[in-house]
Structure 1
Amino acid sequence: MRTGSMRVAEISLPAIRHNVQRVRELTGGRVIVVVKADGYGHGARIAAQAALAGGASMVATADIEEALALREAGIEAPILCWLHGVGADFGQAVAARIEVGVSHAQQLEALAAAAREQGTTATAQLKLDTGLSRNGAAPEEWPALFARAAELQRAGLVRVSGVFSHLANAGDAHDRAQAARFDEGVALLRASGIEPEMIHLAASAATLTSPHLHYNTVRVGVIAYGLSPLADRSSAQLGLIPAMTLRSEIVALRGVPAGTGVSYGFNHVCETATTLALVPMGYADGMPRALNGAGAWVTVAGEHRPIVGRIGMDQFIVDVGPLAGRLELGERVVLFGDPERGHPPVEIWAGLMRTINYEIVAGIGPRVLRVPAEAPAGGDADRGAEAGQ
């Protein structure tokens, strides 16, 4: 049991439910919510439960181990996973009723063998490469793969429940070219005698921008967590609510005179007398060390205050200046959260790091306690729930 955690990622369950409902309103079809990489850093079990409560038809992971962990955590809903090593244990997947994304004939045969050994039927979704050039069966493989899948389906070893691909997000013309290739694959699959229940191509970006790519299912990740996949539109503009509030607390306050050097290397020197607050969060927790001196800020007592000095493995320093007399040890510090509630958006870190919001939230470290909260994002999580996680 962990108590009194100094590092918390508060995860708003209402926010995730709202975001999934928003996707359902936009598409009118089935929604698969991707909870790989520990739910994009939000906690896979927390994210899966909230997504399903919001109306998701299925959750998805990258690999079998992630899917099995969800089963062990009590998630009984359909789960899809699609990225497999040569030694992947499809037997465990079949036994746990996990739908396996199949990208080539060798995987299909291994899945059928696992089903045969257990005397049951495995469920597969066929993944097609339509131009992203990553995993998925290439067009020249489709005829043989589909014919064999149909044969195994007639034999009762494999049921093909879906077909899917992934867009490169390289612009509308490329998306439409991929969709045309995907349509060819779906038509060929149907001609082989397989009628897939789920047909999905759109991930988060296309779900928001390209209704013609929705088919009967969409497969979303980052928008379920309330983050925008679009450079020119914020979460609020898209009707989304960021689910994660990353927060810590002040564990020391120190008044210092002008000329005081701060943290390693003294790359920050206080120009005037001020007060420095020590916050126990660092690069081991997913806070990029390169943020130091970059202009990043946090909220303390509702005010924006700058991060100063080099960020350490376990801690960083905030210049709290004129707030000093109002602060006590234990004062909450919000590193990022919902800007509609006055918190720094995660996109500030992403912009300073020249990366995307996905990488920041997925990189939050294991020391950070994920706390599910029924309060709005950035509200007060229940302390009892926090202690029991």
Structure 2
Amino acid sequence: MDKKESRLVIRRDCIENNVRAVRQLTGARLMAVVKEDGYGIGIASAYRILSGCGVDFFCVGTPREALTLRNLGFSGDILLLTPEYSLPLCSQLLEENIIFMVGNSRQADVLRQASRGMRRSPRIHIKIDTGLGRYGFFRDTLLTVKFCTLDMNIEGIYTHFASCGRNYRKNILLQKQRFDQALKILEESGVPVPFVHAAASRTLAWAGDLGYDGVRIGSLLLGKETEGRADFQDAVRLEAKICEKKWYPAGEYAGYRRDVKLKRDSLIGVVRAGCGDGLGLARQSREPLGLLRHAVRNMFFPDHAYCLSRNGSRVPILDNTGTGHTLVDLTGLGLNPGDVLSFRINPLLADPDIPKIIVGDGEEMKDAASF
């Protein structure tokens, strides 16, 4: 396979800043979420940086991620955020002292079977469904929790809010109310409520920890989902080189869809990276209002229409819809083929084969590829 001609640059110092920013927002326990391969930066890289910041609780999305953290030497708390129904895997995770989420009686039965003959009881966090529609006990099954989790160590109770789309504030407050009601029902039925967490990245940035004991933070640690907060820094960008440049006359159209009309004679640069690398991709709302917000943001906030050169110049992006190429406007900037440009990117959407490099305080920790 040909090597990608772009790379992800991960700023350790920015992640460290973001950990400090989270701790300034809340005194609740920071539970770092490193699912989906560390939100795209590599779970090993995410673990090494975050553990160096004193993070001692990690959340993962798969058994493999949990076992990877153990193999990396982490001996602290790991919460598996998804249900597991494989008896052999549950037994292996029990041996590794992984904390399970439990959101239904079937899952509890599998855990009970896996723990038979073992000296340790399953460590669990009860998951409550407050409106997301994924995992968790719904309000009509709360009274079954006590009986289906007998002989298990309930160490926490949590929910995950549906936090995208319209009426964000109203929906969060409704789900918090449902969660508080569920906590009350569980407590009154004799279920211990030792540690409670609900806020993830977007909720924390918008509303804080909501008064609970822990916060589960993933994308915010990378400077994503910041809700416009200036105290968080973008920790991941994509770098790619200019490979060609050419003059195009005023009035000519450029771009994959030929929808960019040049207002002046322009020096167009070609960058060998495109949507196949993850550029120009975004998880957008399907609601009409969400699409309108996205259009307005692109119209009035120029950071989304620019990339950066190594000397800090803002380089206008003309077209980023090509699979492997992006067009930029180099007019008057003194940039040439071989010069490196830096693009905003959601690392979750980046091609996993893109080489990664971690830098911090101006010093390279690891160079995954020469560039």
Give 1:164 deviation, angstroms. 0.4
C-alpha distance in structure 1 between counterparts of 2:181 and 2:261, whole Å? 63
Q: Say if 1:259 and 1:272, in contact at 8 Å, map to a contact too.
A: yes
Answer with 261-270 or 68-77: which moved more: 261-270
Residues in 2 aligned to 1:387 and 1:309: alpha-carbon distance in whole angstroms: 27
- The aligned counterpart of 1:316 is 326
Aligned counterpart, 1:305: 315
1:329 equivalent in alignment to 2:333: no
Alignment partners' CA distance in 2, 1:310 and 1:331: 18
Matched length: 347
Code of the residue aligned with 1:78 in structure 2: it is: D
Tell me the alpha carbon deviations over residues 169-224 of structure 1, each in whole angstroms, 9 at most, x when there is no partner.
45555444433432343344445555344211222233244357231111223222
- TM-score under structure 2 length normalisation: 0.80
TM-score by length of 1: 0.76
Q: Secondary structure at the match of 2:160?
A: coil
**Where does structure 1 lack aligned partners over 5 or more consecutive residues?**
153-157, 337-345, 347-359
What is the CA distance between 1:115 and its match in structure 2?
Answer: 2.0
Contact 1:202–1:214 (Cα < 8 Å) also in 2: no
Q: Which residue of 2 aligns with 1:179?
A: 176
- In structure 2, how many angstroms separate the alpha carbons of the residues matched to 1:72 and 1:202? 29
Distance 1:384 1:50 in 2: 12
Is the 2:275–2:320 Cα contact (8 Å) retained in structure 1?
A: no
Paired position in structure 2 for 1:235: 229
Secondary structure in structure 1 of the residue aligned to 2:178: helix
Q: Distance in 1 between matches of 2:38 and 2:209?
A: 27
Equivalence for 1:97: 97
Aligned amino acid, residue 315 of structure 2: R
Report deviation, 1:148: 2.6
> Pairwise mapping of residues 1-389 of structure 1 onto structure 2 (< 5 A)?
6-84=5-83, 87=86, 89-116=89-116, 118-149=118-149, 151-152=150-151, 158-169=152-163, 170-172=167-169, 174-191=171-188, 193-211=190-208, 213-230=210-227, 234-236=228-230, 239-255=231-247, 262=254, 264=256, 266-268=258-260, 272-288=264-280, 296-300=305-309, 301-309=311-319, 311-323=321-333, 326-336=334-344, 360-375=346-361, 380=362, 382=364, 385-387=367-369
Q: 1:168 to 1:270 in 2, by over 3 A?
A: closer
- Residue-by-residue CA offset, 1:38-59 (whole Å, 9 max, x unaligned): 2222333322332333343311
Q: In structure 2, do the counterparts of structure 1 residues 265 and 228 end up closer, same or farther at CA, with 3 Å as the change threshold?
A: closer
User: Residue type matched to 1:186 in 2?
Assistant: L
2 CA distance for matches of 1:196 and 1:240? Answer: 32
Distance verdict in 2 for CA 1:310–1:35, change over 3 Å: closer
Q: CA deviation digits over 1:284-334, x for unaligned, max 9? A: 11113799x9882222342222223563222222221122xx334321101
Deviation by residue 1:103-132 (Cα, 9 ceiling, x = unmatched): 101111111222225553322111011233
- Give, in whole Å, the separation in 1 of the partners of 2:22 and 2:257: 48
CA distance in 1, matches of 2:319, 2:130: 47
Distance 1:167 1:265 in 2: 38
Moved more, 269-278 or 98-107: 269-278
Q: How far apart in 2 are the matches of 1:15 and 1:64?
A: 29
Equivalent pair of 2:199/2:209 in contact (CA under 8 Å): no
The answer for the alignment partner of 1:355 in structure 2 is none
**Counterparts in 2 of 1:327 and 1:176: CA distance versus 1, 3 Å:** closer
Residues in 1 aligned to 2:257 and 2:186: alpha-carbon distance in whole angstroms: 62
Asked if the contact 1:262/1:269 (under 8 Å) is kept, the reply is yes
Say whether the 8 Å CA contact 2:158–2:197 is kept in structure 1.
yes
1:353 is matched with which residue?
none
Distance between the aligned counterparts of 1:159 and 1:383, measured in 2?
Answer: 40
What's the secondary structure of 1:143's corresponding residue?
helix
Q: Distance in 2 between matches of 1:109 and 1:204?
A: 32
Range that drifts further, 78-87 or 160-169: 78-87
1:136 deviation in Å?
Answer: 0.8
C-alpha distance in 2, partners of 1:317/1:272? 16
Q: Distance in 2 between matches of 1:205 and 1:126?
A: 22
The alpha-carbon distance between structure 1 residues 255 and 176, as it changes in their structure 2 partners (threshold 3 A), is: closer
In structure 2, the CA distance between the partners of 1:206 and 1:318, relative to structure 1 (3 Å rule), is closer
CA distance in 2, matches of 1:289, 1:141: 39
Deviations 1:84-119 (A, max 9, x none): 365583233223332111110111111122222555
Between Structure 1 and Structure 2, the one with more helix by share is 1
How far the C-alpha of 1:262 sits from its partner, in A, is 4.3
Greater alpha carbon shift after TM alignment, 246-255 vs 180-189:
180-189
Shift of 1:240: 1.3
